[in-house]
Every structure is written in C-alpha cells, then in structure tokens.
Amino acid sequence: MARALCRLLCVLALFTCSPAAWPQDAARAPVLVMEIDGAISPASADDLRRGLALAQRHAAQLLVLQLDTPGGLDTSMRGMIRDILSSAIPVATFVAPGGARAASAGTFILYASHVAAMTPASNLGAATPVAVGMPGSPPATAPHPPASGASAPRAAETDPLGTKRVSDAAAYIRSLAQLRGRNAEWGEKAVREAVSLSSAEALQLKVVDLVATDVPDLLRQLDGRELRLAAGTQQLHTRDAPVVRFEQDWRSRLLATIANPSLALLLLTVGLYALVFEFSSPGLIAPGVIGAICVLVALFALQLLPVNYAGLALIVLGIGFLVAEAFVPSVGVLGVGGVIAFALGAAVLIDSDSPGWGVPLWLIAVLSLASAAFVLGVVGMAARARRRPVVTGLATLANATGELVEFAGGEGWALVRGEHWRVHGPEWLQAGDAVRVLSMRDGVLEVAAD
C-alpha cells in the first residue's frame, strides 16, 4: 500500500512538472497594457522601459503598447526600439483607439514590435525624417524615384544630408521588417515617399499582423499564437489572462510635462529675468528663489531635448543685452539687438522639426514683444528722468540759501536746507547772516551774502 501511494505521488509530481502543465500556468500570467498618447519623447521612452521592467517583474506573458502618436524624437524612438528588441517579454503594439495613428516614429515602433495590430479607422506611415535646424527649412525628404538615371545625381547633390538621413531611415525600417517578417518594400516606401495606409490596407499588404476592435478582441485573436523571442519561442495564452493597466506615476507625469520645448523656453526666460531683478534689487529674496528654481527646471528639461546650443547662447545673450539697456545709455541699440538675438535663439533652440516639437512661432512672438515692451519702458523712463529737474544730490545746493551759525576769519558753519555744512566766504560775514551757496569744493560750500 505504501509502495503504491509512493508511485502515485511520483506520477503526480511528474505530471505537475511536465510541459503539458505549463499552459495552465501561462494562462494565469497577466497581460500588461500601457498607453502612449502624443509625441514620442524622453518620457515615452522612460515609460516603456519601466513598463517592460514591471512586466518582467510580475512574469507577464505580454505587454500591449496602445499607441497614438504623430511621431517624435528620433533618439527616443530608437531607444524604445532597442528596449523592445532586447526584451524578454513580447511586445504587441496596438494602434488604438479608432482614429488613432502611428505616423513617423510610430511606424518604426510598430515594425519593431513582436506583434503589430491596428484598430479599424486608424492609419500608419508618413515616416520620412524631416530636416533639423532653422524652422521653415525644407524637409529632408528623399526625391521621388527619378524618371531617368541622369537626375539621380542632381537630386543627391541638392540635399546630400537629407539623402543620407532618408537612406539611413530606410535601411533601419527595412532591417526591422526583415526581422519581424513584415512588408519591407512598403516600409521603405513610407520612409522615402511619406505614404500612409489605413488599417485594412495595412493588413492586406502584411504590414501589420491583425486588426482588432479593442484590447479584449486583440487578446482573443492572439491566443495560441507563437512568438519568436531572443531566448526562444513563446506561445501566448491570452484569452482569459488577467489584464493589468500601467499607470504613470508622478515622476513620469512631471517628466512628460517639463520636457516640452515651449515650457522650457518660458521657464528659462522667466527665471533669467527674475534673477536679474533680484541682482539689481538685492534683498527681495522671492525673485531670486523663483528665478533659480525656474532656471534649474528649464535646464533639466533642455537636457532631455535635442537642444541647439547656439540658440541657447543667443537667448542668454539677448536677455543680457536687454538688461544692459537699463544701465547703459545706448539709445535703444542694445535693446533692439537683444530682442533680435532672443527671437533668433528661440527659433533655433530645438534642433528638430519633428511633429509635436519645436517652439511655436506665436510663443516666440509673444516673448519677443514682451521683451521689446520692457526695452521701450526702460528707454522711456530714462528719457523722462533726463527731462525732470534735479531734486536730490549735491547739484540741488547751487543757489540754495542758508544762515551762518558760526563764522570767523572767512570760515565757519552754516545751516543749509536743514543740514549743517562747512562754509567759506568773505571775512566780514558774521554769525546770523543770510548766505547763498555759490559752489562746492571738497565738501566745503562757497557762500556769499544773500
């Protein structure tokens, strides 16, 4: 009896440890769902990195990245793709909800994911990299296929840097397509010609793997699918898997808020003006504290962004000129130069023309006009001050009257405008005589009888 019971326990142990029992455990493994809505930024890359770490920590079988983006920063996009490619947890990028898009950088992320899915009425594509530098510069798109071979060299000569950028992006998306078995030809076309596709067309052309109405529908369709990972093949059991939502913490929300070019420029401008105000009027304390906090937060935000340091230097130089206008009688020359330098610096501050990035022209205009108003106010106050009569200082003592208090031998003391002054005058003057101030020399007033 004991021998039979021991055999039964051994059989149960073997069955429990056998691969046939693993799907039951896998069915209980959760699915982590996280959303990225808006431009791809350093905050987006940080969220994905923490989401993958959380999924691995809780032994999740899948991370669903619900995506709706117009594009974003190339550095952040490539960081997210590196995390996806090296992840031990498969990633399913789902362009949702209805009306969402995975444009530009979003297309690359979709191609890099283990599963690419879209919801009806969504689209992807327009993945051509754009030029960096001065706003309004022509985009660095590659030319359409030339009609003859003779035009190709001229196109390359027109914008060699743009051609390099497009060729690099085309090779990148082609390698991702080959890795995931997706349509490499259309991916390269999306980069070179900025074409887009609807969800139905993307499914037909094998750009995406499936179309689902929502996350539950996506998980039903993925149930039983095998995905190839770096460590091997993994089969999904997502039909009844618990779904866990990834929620941004305060750090992610703060990072997403301050990593905004417009807010960074505004904080930098306000902070510098506040510090100048504190240095010009020491002891107020509040402007210095507010200015220091604003400048430090702005610098933290700028180090997350693709900053053109020439633009940052122009902004600081412009504010310096505006401040110098208040102390140097340049008749507005420093002020005008400061406004021009500030506007140019703000225009080229962010070294990217990606959708959702860059400082809007209206904000540059508002800050420049505010600086110009500051200059006009300072120059106007200086002009009015020059026209006013002198009411304080030593110059006001000329022709002032007073009374001698003590006087002997041509020297003594007199009471002039409520103050005692050492005076020098004719020897025949006596204490009690009324006198008039003629001039001052070495702190001694020259007086005469009034």
What's residue 150's pLDDT?
36
Global pTM reads: 0.64
Closest CA to 129 of 118, 147, 143, 142: 142
In tens, the pLDDT along 269-317 reads 888 888 877 877 777 788 888 988 988 888 888 877 778 888 888 988 8
370 and 405, same structural domain? no
357 and 293, same structural domain? yes
In tens, the pLDDT along 383-407 reads 666 665 555 555 667 778 888 888 8
Task: Classify 445 as helix, strand or coil.
Answer: strand
Higher pLDDT, 18 or 180: 180
209 and 106, same structural domain? yes
309 and 224, same structural domain? no
311 and 240, same structural domain? no
313 and 287, same structural domain? yes
Give, in order, the Cα–Cα distances in Å from 128 to each of 45, 50, 108, 125, 166: 21, 29, 11, 9, 7
Does the residue 10 lie in any domain?
no
How close are the terminal C-alpha atoms of the chain, in Å? 139
411 and 304, same structural domain? no
39 and 126, same structural domain? yes
29 and 119, same structural domain? yes
Q: Which residue, 351, 368, 387, sits at the end of a domain?
A: 387
What's residue 18's pLDDT?
35
| Average pLDDT of the chain to the nearest whole number | 79
The enclosing domain of 403 has a CATH number of 2.40.50.140
Q: Which residue, 194, 219, 249, sits at the end of a domain?
A: 249
Number of compact structural domains in the chain: 3
199 and 90, same structural domain? yes
What's residue 389's pLDDT?
59
Does the residue 135 lie in any domain?
yes
Q: State the residue range of the domain holding 62.
A: 21-249
Does the residue 4 lie in any domain?
no
The enclosing domain of 38 has a CATH number of 3.90.226.10
Rounded distance, CA 71 to CA 166, Å?
A: 16
Does the residue 9 lie in any domain?
no
Give, in order, the Cα–Cα distances in Å from 436 to each of 399, 404, 412, 414: 6, 10, 14, 10
Q: Which residue, 366, 387, 408, sits at the end of a domain?
A: 387
Over range 17-22, report the average pLDDT: 34
Which DSSP string corresponds to 344-394? HHHHTSB----TT-S--HHHHHHHHHHHHHHHHHHHHHHHHHHHSPP-SSG
110 and 69, same structural domain? yes
pLDDT class of 357 with cuts at 50, 70, 90: low
266 and 145, same structural domain? no
Across 37-41, 91-95, 330-334, least confident range: 330-334
Q: What is the 3-state secondary structure (H, E, C) of 29-63?
A: CCEEEEEEECCECHHHHHHHHHHHHHHHHCCCCEE
Does the residue 2 lie in any domain?
no
pLDDT class of 65 with cuts at 50, 70, 90: very high
What's residue 46's pLDDT?
87
Does the residue 304 lie in any domain?
yes
